[in-house]
Structure 1
Amino acid sequence: MPSTAEDVLKFLKENNIKWVDLQFTDVPGRLHHITIPASDFDLESLKTGFGKLDGSSIRGFTSIYESDMVLLPVPETMTLVPWSPGVARVLCKVFWGGGKGRFERDPRFIAEEAEKYQAEQGYTSFYGPELEFFMFDKVKLDVSTPQSGTGYKIHAREAPWSDSGTFVIRFKEGYYPAPPVDQLMDVRLEIVDTLVKYFGYTIEATHHEVATAGQGEIDFRFSTLVDTADKVQTLKYVAKNVAAKHGLVVTFMPKPIYGDNGTGMHTHLSLWTKDGKKNLMYDPNEEYAEISQFGRYVIGGLLTHARALSAIVSPTVNSYRRLIPGFEAPVYIAWSKGNRSAVVRVPAYYKGMEKAKRIEYRPPDPSTNPYLAFAALLMAALDGVNKKIDPGDPVDENIYHLTPEKRRQLGIKELPRSLNEALDELESDKEFLKSVFNSSLLDTYIDLKRDEARSLQGYPHPMELYYYLDS
């Protein structure tokens, strides 16, 4: 992939590129693009950017009276678009027009600032998100004949009421079934092959997930904060486009099916020395999970700010339909090794392996803005380190099965149960973010999410009609 402006021009020429997609991310986390002629690229434009953006039409960006904005390509993200011959794409930084500098509400800017902040303190961090998703043939609203207790008919290749094949997957029994039960392996492999061949990914695994109808997961090799966020956006972009070729719809919606597992983005996190040579989370002499005292402070920061973090890492009304007991989604603010009922898990697959030592933060889902999510996790972790926040004792039992009284005795709190509750927590606990998250971004984000929650609150749910229409 190109790394300099000169490399970009060479790449465009060698690959006979006619059009370039300039891509960027809005505040809620949705990818946008504008396509321009490749002939517009020269050394000057790659230095000054392209004045092609009306920021007033992008959620969370600017007002109509200050709408001219500039997109500056990031050379190392330039790649071919395999399903569109003669087209390349490149991720962009967003700047104010008129030479006023970097746009402070550009989510990628927040992630870049987080990396600068950690470097100043002598650290670097690595992230490994596990992206889950559903693949559907189509989604159809049907309130007259709910199936399996839902108000939705999900038409999917693997749906348990489908007559499209002999083999079906029962509810909550979709984890790792071999073909022909797993009928979507071919599409997932095309997605990962595309990521590897055209976008430079190293794929660690892909598989069917627990939920019944078409749920999958793709895991790629961990990387630094900004690069991992770029990769999340790119993976979603590729998955949706490859699936569309097969007449399928990929959704990263957290909870599209009632009564079955939702879609998460469990995020693995480790902090190292600035030079990347020593994993500060690892202590071979520590009996419990080989997690160092430094690592415990990281966990302490994440647990302390878990309720506020929810507004960023679980950012939709639908996210809180996933965060309920019984579906492997975390609800209780505790930590443990190998325990998927806790918010923070210390993976315990290996012993004596420094490079593998990390924690897994389980609340995020892929509807989040990854630039903001990873930056917020880092800031919570560093707050724990700087304040030496002890996480308390680990809880090595199924927290879902503990009585409320037992959880109170252990001091186990719960994550918010709604987006509004999470936003309340963020408004009261955002000081730890402010070294990186400017007030303009935070205030805009909270306002957008308040509007979203208020809007959805006003719509009758299909199941409300099912329950109450004859009342």
Structure 2
Amino acid sequence: MDKQQEFVLRTLEERDVRFVRLWFTDVLGFLKSVAVAPAELEGAFSEGIGFDGSAIEGFARVYEADMLAKPDPSTFQILPWRGEAPSTARMFCDILMPDGSPSYADPRYVLKRALGKAADLGFTFYTHPEIEFFLFKDSPNGRKPVPVDQSGYFDHTPHGRSQDFRREAITMLEAMGISVEFSHHEGGPGQQEIDLRYADALTTADNIMTFRVVVKEVALGQGIYATFMPKPFTEFPGSGMHTHLSLFEGDRNAFFESGAEFHQSKVARSFIAGLLRHAAEITAVTNQWVNSYKRIWGGGEAPAYVCWGHNNRSALVRVPMYKPEKVQSTRAEFRSLDAACNPYLAYAVILAAGLKGIEQGYELPPGADDDVWSLTDRERRALGIEPLPQSLDEAVRAMERSELVAETLGEHVFDFFLRNKRTEWEEYRQQVTPFERERMLAVL
């Protein structure tokens, strides 16, 4: 037994932990959980906990259903919202086949595989997400939601519901070892942003899954409701998850080069070029719901076109302004992501696109200095700026032609994901919407 496992078992006794929740994620990014008694944990560390994989979205067919969830002791944390005594803890799991080999259906393994490829090239992949979401007065249940406030960007409202919420959520996140960098009210009524501190991509993905649970738990505890739906309102901005990216070689930021334009190294330029060249084919993963495209094409500063720019917030990839003596913070910001994605799969395909750019020596095209949204279609075409997919259907069509995404996700996840998204699109396009009834029922 290793030291981390010993630490977990010792903490169970010291903190009177009666329940340990083993967490893992299905292919669509929904969190799954099974509770085990502390007495069973030593066996879970050595052998895993058996479950029926055919009952989990995208995991297995009925005739190959047996799977094992093996807890990762490095992810052990007490759940602060479950009370102090007796306590409840959680650990993320790796999903294994009965013979102990990794399951190709496990999104966490998909990301680990991509990170392993980066490590073979000498890189560690760091990410820093800015997570947006809405707070409503109660669960909408099909009705139009009512925001908890009418505040706007950076507004400070005395006795504001949002401030109390953010304070409690951040306190809970930090109690679980998840560091928060910034928090503020976003542009839409009831819309919030909380930014997590830089971490390696696997830790960040685990943190995002925890973040979504914490936000919903705190909201319910305050009698309100939280959603990460990308675009709940037609008239207000959607919720994104802009993510800052960088590669490190040991302690050295591989994106930094002294004296280069914007202090960007060749590695950084090729990485960004990879993001741009493969942007369309990875979009079904980074923006995986039909509603995601209402955010991308619904205005409100969402990036709809494939380009990069220095400090240009209309671009898909933004290179933030370099701060003197801040070598370690040189980075690129990928802006199309939304917080409703599966973070393991999304970070895996983003990393794969960037690494492909490095391996193939892609040249970075000229940056966009203009506000890309204000250009005409003809002006964008003249500049070689292509649009992102305009619907889930377009995104799926681009993804199914992609060798890069197929290789990164693996055959099993790639095939299931495509099948599921095609079904979602077919069901969506059959729906008669309120827009159609309001426009046409009385006049046609």
TM-score by length of 2: 0.95
- CA-to-aligned-CA distance 1:147-197 (integer Å, 9 cap, x gap): xxxxx5322221xxxxxxxxx43xxxx110012285311111100100111
Aligned partner of residue 8 in structure 1, secondary structure: helix
Task: Kindly state the Cα deviation for residue 371 of structure 1 after the two structures are TM-superposed.
Answer: 0.4
The whole-number CA distance in structure 1 between the counterparts of 2:334 and 2:129 is 9
**What residue identity is the alignment partner of 1:185?**
Q
Determine if contact 1:325/1:400 at 8 Å carries over to the other structure: no
Q: Which amino acid aligns with 1:445?
A: F
**1:232 counterpart residue number:** 208
Task: State how far apart, in whole Å, the 2-side matches of 1:396 and 1:390 are.
Answer: 18
Q: Does 1:196 align with 2:174?
A: yes
2:256 aligned residue (274, 282, 301): 282
Q: Distance in 2 between matches of 1:317 and 1:181?
A: 36
Query: What is the match of residue 253 of structure 1?
Result: 229
Q: 2: CA distance between counterparts of 1:391 and 1:407?
A: 17
1:326 Cα deviation from its structure 2 partner: 3.1
- 1:48 maps to 2:47: yes
Q: Which residue of 1 aligns with 2:245?
A: 269
SS in 1 for 2:409: coil
Which aligned segments of 4 or more residues in structure 1 are displaced greater than 4 angstroms?
Answer: none
In the alignment, what sits opposite 1:417? 390
CA-based RMSD: 1.7
1:179-190 → structure 2 map (5 Å cutoff): 179-180=157-158, 182-190=160-168
For each residue in 1:412-442, what CA deviation from the matched residue of structure 2 results, as whole angstroms up to 9, or x when unmatched? 000000001001111112x224554211111
Secondary structure at 1:184 match in 2:
helix
State the SS of the aligned residue for 2:80.
Answer: coil
| Equivalence for 1:147 | none
Q: Is the 8 Å Cα contact of residues 117 and 436 (structure 1) preserved in structure 2?
A: no
SS at match of 1:35: strand
Q: Tell me the equivalent position of 1:443.
A: 415
How many Å separate the matches in 2 of 1:272 and 1:81? 32
Q: Is the 8 A contact 1:3 1:76 kept in 2?
A: no
Contact map agreement 1:300 1:384 (CA 8 A) in 2: yes
| SS state at 2:118 partner | helix
Alignment equivalent of 1:206, drawn from 170, 183, 192: 183
- With over 3 angstroms needed to count, the CA separation of the structure-2 counterparts of 1:176 and 1:295, relative to structure 1, is same
Relative to structure 1, the CA distance from residue 100 to residue 46 in structure 2 (aligned partners, 3 Å threshold; closer, same or farther) is: closer
Who is 1:164 aligned against?
A: none
Q: Secondary structure at the match of 2:103?
A: coil
Deviation at 1:141, TM superposition (A): 6.8
Q: State the Cα distance separating 1:139 from its structure 2 match.
A: 4.7
Q: Where does 1:103-118 land on structure 2 (aligned, <5 Å)?
A: 103-118=103-118
- Is 1:155 equivalent to 2:142 in the alignment? no
- Native 8 Å contact 1:21 1:34 kept in 2: yes
C-alpha distance in 1, partners of 2:56/2:436? Answer: 33
- Secondary structure of the structure 1 residue equivalent to 2:379: helix
Other-structure match for 1:175: 153
User: Residue 459 of structure 1: CA displacement?
Assistant: 2.1
Distance change in 2, residues 1:436/1:332 (3 Å): closer
C-alpha separation in 2, matches of 1:438 and 1:140: 37
Distance (Å, rounded) in 2 between the aligned partners of 1:352 and 1:380? 29
Judge conservation of contact 1:322–1:329 (CA < 8 Å) in 2: yes
2:305 maps to 1:329: no
What CA distance in whole angstroms lies between the structure 1 residues aligned with 2:106 and 2:3? Answer: 22
Q: Which residue is equivalent to 1:70?
A: 68
CA–CA distance in structure 2, aligned partners of residues 351 and 60 of structure 1: 47
Q: Hey, what's the Cα distance between the residues in 1 that align with 2:407 and 2:140?
A: 45
Partner Cα distance (2:391, 2:409) in 1:
23
CA-CA distance at 1:61 after TM superposition = 1.1
Deviation at 1:244, TM superposition (A): 0.7
Q: Where does the alignment leave 5 or more consecutive residues of structure 2 unmatched?
A: none
Bigger mean CA offset, 2-11 vs 258-267: 2-11
Counterpart Cα distance in 1 of 2:27 and 2:16: 34
| Number of residue-to-residue matches in the alignment | 439
Q: Distance between the aligned counterparts of 1:352 and 1:297, measured in 2?
A: 23
Identity among equivalent positions (%) equals 36
Distance between the aligned counterparts of 1:3 and 1:359, measured in 2?
A: 36
The alignment's TM-score, normalised by the length of structure 1, stands at 0.90
Q: Is the 8 A contact 2:19 2:89 kept in 1?
A: yes
Residue in 2 aligned with 1:20?
20
Q: Which amino acid aligns with 2:47?
A: T
Q: Quick one: which amino acid aligns to residue 281 of structure 1?
A: F
**CA distances 1:81-134 after superposition (whole Å, capped 9, x unpaired):** 1222321111111112x3252110100001111111111111111001111111
Contact preservation (8 Å) 2:138, 2:146: yes
Spell out the pairing of 1:393-408 with structure 2 (5 A cutoff). Answer: 393-408=366-381
**Cα gap change, 1:3/1:188 in structure 2, threshold over 3 Å: closer, same or farther?**
farther
Query: Which of 74, 79, 82 does residue 81 from structure 1 map onto?
Result: 79
Question: C-alpha separation between the residues in 2 aligned to 1:40 and 1:181?
Answer: 46
Summarize the Cα distance change of 1:5–1:140 in structure 2 as closer, same or farther, 3 Å threshold: closer
